[in-house]
Structure 1
Amino acid sequence: MKVKKYVASSMPEAMKVIRAELGPEAVILKSRSVKVGGFMGVFTKKKLEVIAGVDDQVKKTKKYVKKRTDEQLMKQIDELKQLIATVHPLRNTVVEYPLLVQKVISYLQHQEIEERLLKEVRDKVMELYYTTPSLGDKQVVEWLKSWFEDYLSYSERSKVFQKKYINVVGPTGVGKTTTLAKLAASCILEQNKRVAFITTDTYRISAIDQLKTYASILNVPIEVCYNNEDFQQALQIFNEYDIVFIDTAGRNFLDSQYIHDLHNMMSFNEHMETFLVLAATAKMADLRKVYQQFSSIPIDSIILTKLDETTTFGPIINVLTECQLPASFMTIGQDVPDDLEKYTAEKIVDYLFGDWKHE
């Protein structure tokens, strides 16, 4: 490995010299503030001393790098970083990032994007910074939005309501009943489907009354089920209907008995499509726990609610990338059926960068 020391006024200045001399494969090994010049300790100037290194073998084989796949290249970079860490472990090293990069990271941290995603973004934006002349706020936010949209492209679900029984599950307070009514109204008004309701939420009288009110407005029948026998009977009653929407009880998601009761009440078979409802206002730790609790149920897709009640969208991005489940709908208010939107990666990324201030 070739190692060289540089002294510069700032990290961006040092990076430009390092890249020019050692190439884009160079790695920062250590950096610290030093005083240079002056006379007998007087009139010294504060500078940044940076020690950088590059694997000579990597430089020799540079002309072949383009022929390798991205996966192979990333593997080689990771191995090189591990080698450097082993040879010269870095502790308490502070790297000074360009102000624009710092702004990006600060904004995403404020949005509560997790470190595992921040690291990827930071590396990509640093590369963009040193390869794009006169990079400004507008350019970087456009690039970031495009990057996040590509990153979340898997989360878009093109087809929904492919099965007769549509079931919504989730913790209390996320808006399951209102969301169910919005979905039903959409099927009736846009697809002219014959729709029926089943509710198993017998723990709250208000929940039954709320769904009965929606059923009356939409002119659809409803059955209240207290046990599996009631549920099976309701399925028989609604056998001729196109779609049957099932509202489940909203209870404390930390109580594992809730999930056990769901399994006892209904069969999650090939005829049922199940949506997990998550509120955008929830903390990441709670979102993760909700997903873990419901993971024993075959979840087909996610519905995001209460996007109009928060300005922080990082936790939603985190949980989507962590659970690797697609999302289908988003709700942005209480109005039925107006405040229901089809989920797209572009829309959720627009929410994520909605508070970005251009300079």
Structure 2
Amino acid sequence: MRIKKILANSYPEALTRVKEELGEDALVLKTRSIKFGQEGGGQGASMVEITAAMEDASHPSSVMTIAEEPGAEGSKPLGANRKFLNSSNDDREMRSLIYTLLSQTDRAKSMGLHGEQLHTYQHLVECGIDEHLAARVFETLNENSPDRGLDMTRVADRVGESFHFSGPIRLDAVGPKIVALLGPTGSGKTTTVAKLAARFALLERKKVVLVSLDTFRLGALEQLQIYGDLMRVPVEMATDRNEFLQILNRHQDADLILIDTMGRNPRDEQYVEELKQIFSAAPNLETHLVQSATAQESVFEHSLKQFQPLGVDRIVMTKIDEGMQFGHLYNIASRHSVPFSYFTNGQRVPEDIEVAALEGVIRLIFG
């Protein structure tokens, strides 16, 4: 793409020069009026500047910016002082300006998409997939195939390649499997613990123990105790590492120990450090980050970052039934290698939970 700044005495003159030098299809990015003062305090000349862009077929990936400056006293002919912005900083700034001002279609073309692919590309973006990641999908497909149209099935297959799935919780051959659910307040940790406990205790007839580390939220233990009573499984509470270790020692005959953690703000570094200290009592502990499908992608990213010191082994997506767009799942999968374990889609225990699988993800994203 060729970028040029045109300086002229009036807007009509500047637009005429844009068409002459860049062609009828040139895109006007920015306009502004400039005044130049005269020596002695007199009123200076007024000029206009137009920044325009045009695809350069011979150099599609190059960006050249030319700024025309008048002489110090207006005595030099227009164009006598041309300034080429070749430094990396100027180039980056101009590219950023262009990307911001261009329409979504123009941005897609600038990233290498063909016209026949724009409809499918726009569908991906509307589903919540990041523009750059959506463009990368087509870039990869274009490299491997000359077919510019690309039906939705091939695009969906390419999107699916970025996902990893762990399957259900697998119990250990010897000793209890220990699984902790992490996540921000309101993500659905306690309900998910109950659903998992019901699946293993009631459907698979396994010996399950529930442990609450949530001493912060009022009524947290009582809520978990209600689920425990209904399923006839023991419910324990630990406030520190020693209490947690005692619980583990008491239930060495269990098949599965499920841990419901505190629902405090993950920005609280002390909270994460407290969990790390408690978890040190169980070296083989498996962690599942619980995240609501209704949460913003930035919240998802922040949770992954904040809980990373604990080691995030799996991701559980909750409240699927309340979500509107699911393209952000692809964004997360593309940037992180953490596999998905379960999806939950309602409040019923134990019905509204399923093992995460590719078919379900593609259905969520593409409808």
| TM-score scaled by length of structure 1 | 0.68
Q: Which residue of 1 aligns with 2:155?
A: 144
Hey, what's the Cα distance between the residues in 2 that align with 1:271 and 1:129?
45
Among 339, 346, 349, the residue aligned to 1:333: 346
Among 246, 257, 278, the residue aligned to 1:265: 278
Hey, what's the Cα distance between the residues in 1 that align with 2:283 and 2:23?
64
Q: Which residue of 1 aligns with 2:202?
A: 189
The residue correspondences of 1:65-76 to structure 2 (distance < 5 A) are: none
Among 160, 181, 187, the residue aligned to 1:168: 181
User: Is contact 2:292–2:318 with CA below 8 Å preserved after alignment?
Assistant: yes
Q: CA deviation at 1:33?
A: 4.6
Among 113, 119, 134, the residue aligned to 2:135: 119
Q: Which runs of 5+ in 2 are unaligned?
A: 1-20, 26-53, 61-87
Q: Does 1:109 align with 2:125?
A: yes
Hey, what's the Cα distance between the residues in 2 that align with 1:172 and 1:49?
49
3-state SS in 1 of match to 2:310: coil
Hey, what's the Cα distance between the residues in 1 that align with 2:147 and 2:278?
58
1:51 partner letter: A
User: CA separation of 1:278/1:32 partners in 2, compared to 1, >3 Å: closer, same or farther?
Assistant: farther
Q: Does 1:277 align with 2:290?
A: yes
3-state SS in 2 of match to 1:246: strand
Q: Which moved further from structure 2: 224-233 or 256-265?
A: 224-233
Q: CA deviation at 1:295?
A: 0.5
Hey, what's the Cα distance between the residues in 2 that align with 1:199 and 1:301?
20
3-state SS in 1 of match to 2:317: strand
Q: Does 1:34 align with 2:51?
A: no
Hey, what's the Cα distance between the residues in 1 that align with 2:219 and 2:300?
25
Q: Which residue of 2 aligns with 1:156?
A: 165
Task: Give the number of the structure whose residues are more often helix, by fraction.
Answer: 1
Q: Does 1:303 align with 2:316?
A: yes
3-state SS in 2 of match to 1:220: coil
1:291 partner letter: L
User: Is contact 1:195–1:245 with CA below 8 Å preserved after alignment?
Assistant: yes
1:34 partner letter: E
Hey, what's the Cα distance between the residues in 1 that align with 2:262 and 2:57?
60
Q: CA deviation at 1:303?
A: 0.9
User: CA separation of 1:122/1:234 partners in 2, compared to 1, >3 Å: closer, same or farther?
Assistant: same
1:145 partner letter: A
User: Is contact 1:196–1:245 with CA below 8 Å preserved after alignment?
Assistant: yes
Hey, what's the Cα distance between the residues in 2 that align with 1:278 and 1:131?
38
Hey, what's the Cα distance between the residues in 1 that align with 2:55 and 2:231?
71
| TM-score scaled by length of structure 2 | 0.67
3-state SS in 2 of match to 1:179: helix
Q: Indicate the RMSD between aligned Cα atoms, in angstroms.
A: 2.9
Among 293, 299, 304, the residue aligned to 1:286: 299
Q: Can you list the C-alpha shifts for 1:44-69, whole angstroms capped at 9, x where unaligned?
A: xxxx9862369xxxxxxxxxxxxxxx
Q: Which residue of 1 aligns with 2:28?
A: none
Q: Which runs of 5+ in 1 are unaligned?
A: 1-30, 36-47, 55-84, 355-359
Q: CA deviation at 1:106?
A: 1.9
Q: Does 1:353 align with 2:366?
A: yes
3-state SS in 2 of match to 1:252: coil
Q: Does 1:227 align with 2:240?
A: yes
Hey, what's the Cα distance between the residues in 2 that align with 1:202 and 1:260?
15
Q: Which moved further from structure 2: 250-259 or 230-239?
A: 230-239
Q: CA deviation at 1:195?
A: 0.7
User: Is contact 1:280–1:315 with CA below 8 Å preserved after alignment?
Assistant: no
Hey, what's the Cα distance between the residues in 2 that align with 1:100 and 1:236?
63
Q: Can you list the C-alpha shifts for 1:290-331, whole angstroms capped at 9, x where unaligned?
A: 101000012221111111111111222212221211111110
1:52 partner letter: S
User: CA separation of 1:296/1:247 partners in 2, compared to 1, >3 Å: closer, same or farther?
Assistant: same
Q: Which moved further from structure 2: 90-99 or 225-234?
A: 90-99
2:338 partner letter: L
